[in-house]
Amino acid sequence: MKIIIDTDPGQDDALTILLALASPEIELLGVTTVAGNVPVAQTTENALKTFDLVGRTDIPVHAGADRPLLRPGVTATHVHGKTGFEGVDLPPPSREATPGHAVDFIIRTVMENPPGTITLCTIGPLTNITLALAKEPALRERIGQIVTMSCAFSEVGNITPTAEFNIYVDPHAARVVFESGIPLVVFPLDVTHQLHTSKARLERLDAIPNRVGPVVAAWLRFEKRFEATKYGTDGGPLHDPNTVLWLLRPDLYRGREVNVEIETESALTMGMSVVDWWGITGKKKNALFMREVDVEGVYDLVIERLSAL
């Protein structure tokens, strides 16, 4: 499976990249970065550090949008720390970002491959994807699917009472993507909030006999402190890795085709993902929206793949 990961690392973003690298079923063509959890210069540096961690400097990392389309930028440093990589002190990256903008890399890669063969795994705000669609409208017919960690239904919101972070940061970009007609697979808070990074699960990561396991455990231990306190749970939600894990084991998840619209007008509910779970509106279904997950199966797969690095 040929994929591009569009991301704003972030500790669990880095785990997503590592899982792709650890999986022979996946060919990671490149990583594109966007402003989100931290500013884009930092997300780019973090992506480069992730590849250095496992000695993979052969995969391009292209820096992308440094701000949302229409709104002021929002970060999540209160969750991820100032650098987005708090929890582990990694050395500076061994290389610079690959020359060329993320948007142009996405366009070139999709257009150079046969239609329908490229999957975009989007685990940050959707700014780069919307800019690419605006610059090359033919992408709508060429992208195979977009697998996205975004949205919420019954879990409502994690950055406002009604909005999930990746959508809220750039709701106008999200609206374009959800109206694009490209096949969408959505991993919302409804799934991620079932996947607590419990003490026992972090101990399993720590026990992996390579460098990666303890680093991932330390990253998640830091990142999830805020959410564990917020929700009163043993650990916090595991968000972004579900995109790659679903590509590997779709049987671990269950959902249904629904219509999803993104709110861009209301100051009160800006960035809300309006999910027509019961088909009330009769509007065209535009997303496979996940709601259920095999929790232990997901963590077993994470341990298995990271152990191979």
* Neighbour tally for 184: CB within 10 Å: 23
196 is catalytic: no
CB contact at 8 A, 12 and 215: no
CB contact at 8 A, 269 and 164: no
d(CA 215, CA 83): 15
Catalytic residue list? 239
